[in-house]
């Protein structure tokens, strides 16, 4: 892999381009989860199009101006978080601005690899220093670094406070910046705040009947024995992250295990999640009688969720995490088709009534100790929120990116499913996996068996932390 250092200028605060309302904004109960008090990381790679004379002479100035204009519409992002009574967060819309860093790197886009896949070399060099990623109060809510490359391409790296926006919301803001950089007068999708739609109308005192999808989480918080999970006791410097690429050939092999056994064909997410949950559980060496959990981060937006109340343009957190639970023995002994069906049922459990109940449960948990649930595999399908054509700049095209295992690593214990092209140029899925080093070796061997591969090195792109 190529190695390089970026030359960064001093960070500067970019305020909204014009006066914006000075007010206090309430967050939703979904936003206000303690688990979301950190900076999420998103990165995008761009290739210059056409003649070298196309595009702006001063790229940083154009992007900086577009960022300032975007903050007129997303003005709460230019404010600061404040903690009120009982620890509830609010946004003070102060127009203080967001952090912007201009940088240069003596590498070309092709030096990052063809095809462009994670792990991206020296990814921390493409992101500005976010400091303590778990300290969000009184700090800029967005930190952006724009890195120019020798070939004329560039990289946009973002740290965004997760209490303000989810992955979809961050991409929506990125698209707005791109549109304004191209000279459009206003965003094609206007941002919507309306955080009250995901806030409870009842008391936040402990509820006697929590949503069933969250009962395993509540149980895990009450068990003193949960600390025996190697994922929670291993330090980050003893872990390794690898990325697993699944193209048409690999998916066909996995589909052969369930073909003809399902009422509806399995999606790639359902099939990969079922297999990787089983392999991960075996690799971590849990005892047969111990409960293991699958937590699926489900976005409440989209056509799949026709009952959703989420309006177009909503950029707050609009995701829920239903949980499935089995013992290790039950998970590893049942046919794969049963695990796939369990993944599917867990996904489909997020109905309108379920969402309302989950909001109540989330609100009641806000005062409880913040802890990672033990023996839990959290999975997010981020393929459908990929920027894709939404980040075309006319004089530059988006060629890859997503959520790297960088920045706040404590939030990366699960897996993100992302779009990519494999070595043959085929549409594929790349999945991140963070595990203790010995467990990773066992995980790769388990995956190689499912994929009928004699050499597990053909499956992964390694990246030691």
C-alpha 157, offset from chain centre: 14
Alpha-carbon span 402 to 345, nearest angstrom? 27
Contact yes or no for 322/342 (Cβ under 8 A): no
Can you give the C-alpha Rg of the chain in angstroms? 22
Q: Which residues contact 429 (CB under 8 A, 6 or more apart)?
A: 245, 246, 268, 272, 383, 417, 418, 419, 420
In sign, the C-alpha dihedral spanning 207, 208, 211, 213 is positive
Tokens 């111990």 identify what position?
Answer: 290
The SS3 of residue 207 is coil
Q: Which residue has tokens 């999640």? A: 273
Residue listed under structure tokens 């979301």:
36
Residue 276 sits at the vertex; the CA angle it makes with 39 and 403, to the nearest 5 degrees, is: 25
Q: Answer for the pair 314, 194: CB distance below 8 angstroms, yes or no.
A: yes
Q: Which residue has the tokens 């120019």?
A: 148
| Residue (of 321, 73, 134) closest to 215 by Cα position | 321
- Residue at token pair 């099939």: 271
Q: How many helices (H) and strands (E) are present in the chain, helices listed first?
A: 10, 18
Contact partners, residue 342, CB within 8 Å, separation at least 6: 274, 294, 324, 326
Q: Is 241 left (phi over 0), alpha (psi -120 to 50) or beta?
A: beta
Nearest to 221 by CA among 367, 434, 36: 367
- Closest alpha carbon to 47 in 401, 400, 397: 397
Alpha-carbon distances of 400 from 74, 170, 375, 418, rounded to whole Å: 25, 16, 32, 10
Active-site residue list: 162
């Amino acid at each position: 892999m190529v190695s390089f250092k970026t030359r960064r200028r001093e960070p500067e605060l970019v305020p909204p381009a014009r006066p914006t309302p000075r007010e206090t904004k309430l967050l939703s109960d979904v936003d206000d989860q303690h688990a979301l008090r950190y900076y999420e990381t998103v990165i995008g790679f761009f290739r210059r199009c056409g003649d070298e004379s196309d595009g702006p002479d001063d790229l940083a100035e154009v992007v900086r101006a577009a960022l300032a204009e975007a903050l007129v519409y997303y003005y709460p992002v230019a404010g600061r978080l404040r903690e009120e009574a009982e620890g509830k967060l609010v946004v003070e819309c102060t127009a203080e601005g967001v952090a912007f860093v201009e940088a240069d790197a003596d590498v070309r886009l092709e030096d990052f690899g063809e095809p462009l896949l994670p792990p991206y070399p020296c990814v921390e060099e493409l992101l500005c220093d976010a400091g303590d990623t778990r300290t969000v109060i009184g700090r800029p809510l967005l930190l952006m670094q724009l890195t120019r490359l020798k070939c004329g391409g560039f990289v946009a790296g973002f740290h965004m406070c997760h209490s303000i926006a989810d992955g979809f919301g961050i991409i929506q803001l990125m698209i707005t910046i791109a549109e304004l950089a191209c000279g459009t007068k206003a965003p094609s999708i206007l941002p919507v705040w309306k955080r009250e739609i995901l806030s409870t109308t009842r008391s936040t005192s402990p509820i006697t009947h929590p949503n069933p999808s969250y009962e395993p989480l509540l149980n895990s918080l009450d068990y003193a024995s949960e600390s025996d999970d190697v994922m929670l006791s291993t330090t980050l410097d003893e872990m390794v992250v690898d990325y697993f690429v699944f193209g048409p050939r690999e998916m066909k092999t996995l589909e052969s295990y369930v073909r003809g056994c399902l009422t509806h064909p399995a999606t790639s997410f359902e099939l990969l999640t079922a297999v990787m949950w089983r392999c991960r559980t075996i690799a971590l060496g849990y005892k047969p009688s111990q409960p293991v959990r699958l937590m699926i981060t489900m976005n409440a937006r989209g056509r799949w969720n026709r009952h959703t109340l989420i309006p177009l343009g909503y950029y707050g957190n609009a995701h829920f995490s239903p949980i499935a639970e089995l013992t290790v023995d039950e998970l590893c002994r049942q046919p794969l088709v049963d695990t796939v069906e369990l993944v599917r049922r867990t996904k489909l459990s997020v109905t309108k009534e379920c969402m309302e109940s989950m909001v109540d449960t989330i609100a009641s948990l806000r005062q409880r100790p913040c802890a990672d649930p033990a023996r839990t595999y959290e999975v997010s399908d981020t393929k459908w929120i990929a920027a894709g054509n939404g980040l075309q700049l006319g004089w530059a095209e988006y060629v890859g990116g997503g959520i790297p295992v960088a920045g706040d690593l404590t939030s990366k214990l699960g897996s993100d499913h992302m779009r990519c092209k494999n070595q043959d140029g085929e549409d594929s899925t790349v999945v991140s996996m963070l595990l203790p080093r010995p467990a990773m070796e066992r995980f790769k061997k388990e995956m190689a068996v499912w994929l009928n591969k004699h050499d597990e090195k053909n499956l992964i792109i390694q990246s030691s932390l």
